[in-house]
Amino acid sequence: MFGCVPFIFQNGRPSVEVVIVSDAKAGGELIAEAMAELLRHKPDALLGVATGSTPLPIYQALAAKVDSGAVDASRARVAQLDEYVGLPAEHPESYRSVLRREVLEPLGLDVDAFIGPDGTAEDVRAACEAYDKALAEAGGVDLQLLGIGTDGHIGFNEPCSSLASRTRIKTLTEQTRVDNARFFEGDIEQVPHHVITQGIGTILEARHLVLLATGEGKADAVAATVEGPIAAVCPASALQLHPHATVVVDEAAASKLKLADYFRHTYANKPDWQGI
């Protein structure tokens, strides 16, 4: 049945593990539990966080675990995936502000726990290099959360980004600016054209990559990511190069997967201790 599918098994895992969940809340809970488990073993873990709408259920579920005492996140550290160029840090839609609101404050962390690129630096190239260096000096990202663009971008590595790229400035596609206008009063003119994003090579250095995708609008990108060839035209397909990459999708985002039944079967029969 899978004769034509080039699966690579490493450490007993398929190259990308796909977990199909009922809805966004269930995906958020599953991933928050993986983060909590990481923090129980490594209290000062460096958590790589993404912005956008998709990860919000993860952050809510993790904050609930902290509130209930199920996990202590007081020593957690947080690293930013990407940032708009030119938005002052205090702008409500700078990703630094968004992450302060959605992640740091709910987890009870202060800004000392946070590292991110400087989107207002005069020398953007130096700021990008400095951020890659800061990530390495922090010991590397333990678990990197990712969303996915409708065009398959991760971070803001738009189609045809180098799969070996480092943190750098990128120009957003018109589609991504249209998608993000909802955070800027629906006004595309307010959406910056440029971002600093961790490169795909930088992202691949995290120890565990966890991508959450929800909604039918992501179904084509998800199918290309896990069942298509590794190709820069779908930047997220680079996850296939990583020894520990997990893609969590709701039913709608899974709707174009040819191997959905296989993914359901392998996850249902996985040993409990293995986690994601």
Would you say 45 or 81 has its CB closer to ligand F6R? 81
Output the smallest distance, CB 5 to ligand F6R, in A.
26
What residues contact 222, with CB distance under 8 A and at least 6 apart?
A: 148, 213, 247, 249, 253, 254, 256, 257
Residue from 91, 153, 208, 242 carrying the catalytic annotation: 153
Closest-by-Cβ residue to ligand F6R is: 147
Is there a catalytic annotation at residue 82?
yes
Among 27, 48, 117, 149, binds ligand F6R (CB under 6 A): 149
Nearer to ligand F6R by C-beta: 77 or 170?
A: 170
Neighbours of 258 (CB within 10 A): 10
- Residue 151 annotated as catalytic: yes
Smallest gap from residue 37 Cβ to ligand F6R (A): 23
Compute the distance between CA of residue 272 and CA of residue 251 in angstroms, rounded to an integer.
22
Q: Stretches 33-41, 46-54, 119-127, 128-136: which one binds ligand F6R (CB under 6 A)? A: 46-54
Catalytic residue among 102, 132, 151, 179: 151
The answer to whether 52 contacts ligand F6R (rule: CB under 6 A) is: yes
Tokens, residue 82: 């990407």
The nearer residue to ligand F6R, 15 or 214, going by C-beta atoms, is 214
In the bound state with ligand F6R, the residue whose beta carbon lies nearer, of 71 and 104, is: 104
Q: Quick count: other Cβ atoms within 10 Å of Cβ 133?
A: 11
**From CA 30, how far away is CA 18, in angstroms rounded?**
13
- Measured CA to CA, the distance from residue 262 to residue 4 in angstroms comes to 14
Measure the CA–CA gap between 112 and 54, rounded to whole angstroms.
25
Structure tokens at 218: 């992501």
Q: Does residue number 27 form part of the binding site for ligand F6R (CB under 6 A)?
A: no
**Which member of 14, 57, 119, 155 binds ligand F6R (CB under 6 A)?**
155
Dihedral sign computed on CA atoms, order 96, 234, 145, 140: negative
Q: How many other CB atoms are there within 10 angstroms of residue 86's CB atom?
A: 14
| Location of structure tokens 């957003």 | 172
Please state at what angle helix 56-68 crosses helix 24-41, rounded to 10 degrees: 50
Nearer to ligand F6R, 81 or 135 (CB): 81
By CB under 6 A, residue 147 contacts ligand F6R:
yes
137 carries an active-site annotation: no
The two tokens of residue 145 are: 């959360």
Query: What part of residues 63-122 is at the interface with ligand F6R (CB under 6 A)?
Result: 81-82
Q: How far is the CB of 116 from ligand F6R (least distance, A)?
A: 11
Residues carrying an active site annotation: 82, 151, 153, 158
Residues that bind ligand F6R (CB under 6 A): 50-54, 81-82, 147-149, 153-155
